[in-house]
Amino acid sequence: MAQIASITLLHNDDARPIIEAILADNPGCRVLNMPGAVKLDRDDELVVRRASVEARIGRAWDPQELQLVIVSMAGNLDEDDDHFTLSWKH
């Protein structure tokens, strides 16, 4: 069975462009809608890219701003100034 990298975000205006960016950057990403929250799952690895979010919101964005909308996650995290990556790869 594939290991699932996952992120759950609030379903609100701040998170919507981030959700869009994730769906665009992570082919095969699966979406589970719950009241108030969205769970995004992908086999092995899921990445949030600063540049993709910035392209959608038209301002500078720091991946640490995810702290304001994240609900849960699964995978080993690697975060720097350009991306927030959840992965089971080694």
Partner 1 sequence: MTPKKLGLKQRYALMTRGLDWETTYQPMDKVFPYDRFEGIKIKDWSAWEDPFRLTMDAYWKFQGEKERKLYAVLDAFAQNNGQTGISDARYTNVLKLFLTGVSPLEYQAHRGFAFAGRHLRGVGPRVAAQMQSLDELRHVQTQIHTISHYNKYFDGLSEFRHMHDRVWYLSVPKSFFDDARTAGPFEYMIAIGFAFEYVLTNLLFVPFMSGAAYNGDMSTVTFGFSAQSDESRHMTLGIEVIKFLLEQDADNLPIVQRWVDKWFWRGHRVLGLVAMMMDYMLPKKVMSWKEAWEIYFTEAGGSLFTDLARYGLKVPKYADVATADAEHISHQNWATFYQYTHAAAFHTWMPDRAHMDWLSEKYPNTFDKYYRPRFEMWAEMEKQGQRFYNNSLPQLCQVCQIPMVYTEPGDPTKIAFRCSQVEGETYHFCSDGCKDIFDAEPQKYVQAWMPVQQIFQGNCGGASIPDVLAWYRLNAGADNMDYVGSPDEKLWNDWHAAAARAAG
Closest CA to 4 of 35, 31, 41: 41
Can residue 51 be called a binding residue for partner 1 (CB under 8 A)?
no
- Amino acid type, 81: D
Window 26-45: residues binding partner 1 (CB under 8 A): 32, 34-37, 39
Binding residue for partner 1, selected from 24, 31, 51, 78, defined by CB under 8 A:
78
Helix axes 16-25, 50-57, angle to 10 degrees: 130
- Name every residue whose Cβ is closer than 8 Å to that of residue 59 and which is 6 or more positions away in sequence: none
- Please tell me the count of residues contacting partner 1 according to CB under 8 A: 32
Can residue 17 be called a binding residue for partner 1 (CB under 8 A)?
no
- Judged by the rule CB under 8 A, the positions of this chain that interact with partner 1 are 1, 3-6, 8, 10, 32, 34-37, 39, 64-65, 67-81, 88, 90
